Amino acid sequence: MIHPHIADALKVPDLVRLTDGLILLRFESMKIYSALAAVRHLLERGTVRPGQTLIDSSSGIYAYALALACHRYGMRCHIVASTTVDATTLAQLEILGATVEQVRPSRNLKLDQELRVRRVREILAEEPGHHWMRQYHDDIHYLGYQEVADRIAAEFPAVPLTVVGGLGSGASTGGIVERLRMTDPSVRLVGVQPFGSVTFGSQDHHDPEAIIAGIGSSIVFDNVRHHLYDTVHWLDFTHAMSGAVALLREHAVFAGLSTGAGYLTATYEARRHPDRLHLVIGADTGHRYVERVFARHAEALDPAALKPLEVRGPEEMTMPWSRMTWQRTPCPAHWKERAA
């Protein structure tokens, strides 16, 4: 197949068998699916027009995806970037035609996220013609993952399936599993969170090295549909790093920190449920984590010696790794009120 644009080629993931019960869905950059479908939908609906500026904040892979989608469809792009966005990504964004501004360095990712959202609102007040993509809140970001789900269903028909992935905005895990459950309601979903995220109630726990960008949140994300999740895992930086290093060492897969956390989680879940096939989402490559993660590979722990603490509620969780059976429960109303 000859692709009309590089984004159409880059979006397609590879399915890699790691063990008999564990498959990696490896993306070059996962959110390209989401961004392409969202921009195309907005154009078709007439919500935006060719040449208009699309704006959003990002900690990395969504910024790249949106810049590619804008290049693909002839849109302008403005990114309010996290301090965690690396120089390689920044250079690509700028060459692709995006304008980029990074918020000032902050004490933690919570403040970083708040500063980015505040800055987006300031820009929209100054430039009302810009369109805010709202990757965390607009459910158009679910659309692109339907195609991913259809491919999974075609590859693994009539197989008891569990999907494991970083939570983040909720669109990737939610979009894939909602689609899969249309034909197979037994598909299970395991979400992975860093400590310190408000999404599933770990905001009172502080991981001093938390740089698991993109899978946690300091604010409520409307795109997270809590009722889709069967189980939730919380991991600290060291455990996520250990998973990423193990994935490279054992399977030669160079992937990002959230994939490392997902791999460690999926390996544990596969041991508990050997009757099911576990599909772990690998959102991106490991290139932006070379200095902060892979250069420290000697510090990685042996995954075989690691296991989570089983908890009955977020109030029982403790670092470095906790696991809770969520049972597809809706988000408690008081969580949203407290985070508002």
Would you put residue 8 in left (φ > 0), alpha (ψ -120 to 50) or beta?
Answer: alpha
What is the sign, positive or negative, of the torsion defined by CA atoms of 149, 155, 161, 163? Answer: negative
Beta bridge partners of 278: 22, 162
Q: pLDDT tens for residues 121-148?
A: 999 999 999 999 999 899 999 999 999 9
CB 299 within 8 A of CB 241: yes
Beta bridge partners of 162: 188, 278
CB 220 within 8 A of CB 197: no
Segment 297-323 shows an average pLDDT of 95
Q: Which of 26, 3, 143, 146 is nearest to 72 (CA)?
A: 3
CB 92 within 8 A of CB 114: no
pLDDT grade, residue 206 (50/70/90)? Answer: confident
| Segment (H or E) for 81 | strand 76-81
pTM metric for this prediction: 0.93
Segment 288-308 shows an average pLDDT of 93
Q: pLDDT tens for residues 68-79?
A: 999 999 999 999
Q: Using N-to-C axis directions, what is the helix angle for 257-272 and 237-251, rounded to 10°?
A: 80
Q: Is the confidence at residue 280, as pLDDT, over 80?
A: yes
The reported pLDDT for the residue numbered 215 is: 80
CATH numbers and ranges of domains, the chain: 6-29+142-333 (3.40.50.1100), 32-139 (3.40.50.1100)
Beta bridge partners of 191: 165, 232
Q: pLDDT tens for residues 160-188?
A: 999 999 998 899 999 999 999 999 999 99
The reported pLDDT for the residue numbered 86 is: 80
The reported pLDDT for the residue numbered 211 is: 60
